[in-house]
């Protein structure tokens, strides 16, 4: 579906000859002399690379139609993650590489929204924060109350992040899925 550069919005996905790109930022510029143009910042959906492009005003670009499906993560099978469509109950096996960093926050039974372009998975929408159990870290010591001091902790999904000194193995913590940082105890 063709869309005009005047109708661009943040988060819109474009199907350009170079690949699929998400609009991160756009600015409509009308100089005093010459024609108007649109400056854009685009992020490649597959590689994550960010490019800047300038288009004439009212130039037509191809908009990608992204299908979002709610899926439940069932289990891990070797290097693949098995999801179930919550509406049709079909199972889908997904390579770890297609999930990107999202794989660090998925545990069995969690819901996620998978983004499809045709039959290809191009992204995963997760909640802003998830609760994960600390699998391994140095035990907190009585008196460790230094403000801001951190130690590494391995979570149940294999993710390693910095947590405060008072966090012990077996505790549930909240982790921000956008930044990968510790938020609070659960």
pLDDT of residue 142: 60
SS3 sequence of the chain: CEEEHHHCCCCCEEEECCEEEEEEEEEEECCCCCCCEEEEEEEECCCCCEEEEEEECCCEEEECCCEEEEEEEEEEECCEEEEEECCCCCEEEEEHHHHHHHHHHCCCCCEEEEEEECCEEEEEECCCEEEEEEEEECCCCCCCCCCCCEEEEEECCCCEEEEECCCCCCCEEEEECCCCCEEEEC
The predicted-structure confidence for 57-111, as pLDDT tens digits, reads as follows: 888 999 988 898 899 999 888 888 899 998 888 898 888 888 888 888 888 888 8
The predicted-structure confidence for 5-59, as pLDDT tens digits, reads as follows: 888 888 889 999 888 898 999 999 898 888 899 999 999 887 888 999 999 988 8
pTM given for the model: 0.74
Domains and CATH numbers, the chain: 2-62 (2.30.30.30), 67-125 (2.40.50.140), 129-185 (2.40.50.140)
């Amino acid at each position: 579906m063709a869309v005009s550069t005047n109708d661009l919005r943040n988060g819109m996905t474009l199907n350009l000859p170079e690949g699929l790109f998400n609009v991160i930022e756009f600015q409509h510029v009308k100089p005093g002399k010459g024609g108007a143009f649109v400056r854009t910042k685009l992020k490649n959906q597959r590689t994550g690379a960010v490019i800047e492009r300038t288009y004439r005003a009212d130039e037509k670009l191809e908009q990608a139609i992204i299908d979002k499906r709610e899926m439940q993560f069932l289990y891990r099978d070797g290097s693949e993650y098995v999801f179930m469509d919550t509406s049709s109950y079909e199972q889908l096996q997904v390579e770890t590489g297609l999930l990107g960093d999202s794989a660090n926050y998925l545990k069995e039974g969690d819901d996620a929204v998978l983004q499809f372009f045709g039959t290809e998975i191009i992204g995963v929408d997760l909640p802003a924060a998830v609760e994960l159990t600390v699998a391994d870290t140095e035990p907190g010591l009585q008196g460790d109350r230094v403000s801001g001091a951190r130690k590494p902790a391995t979570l149940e999904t294999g993710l390693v992040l910095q947590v405060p000194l008072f966090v012990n193995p077996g505790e549930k913590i909240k982790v921000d899925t956008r930044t990968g940082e510790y938020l609070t105890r659960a």
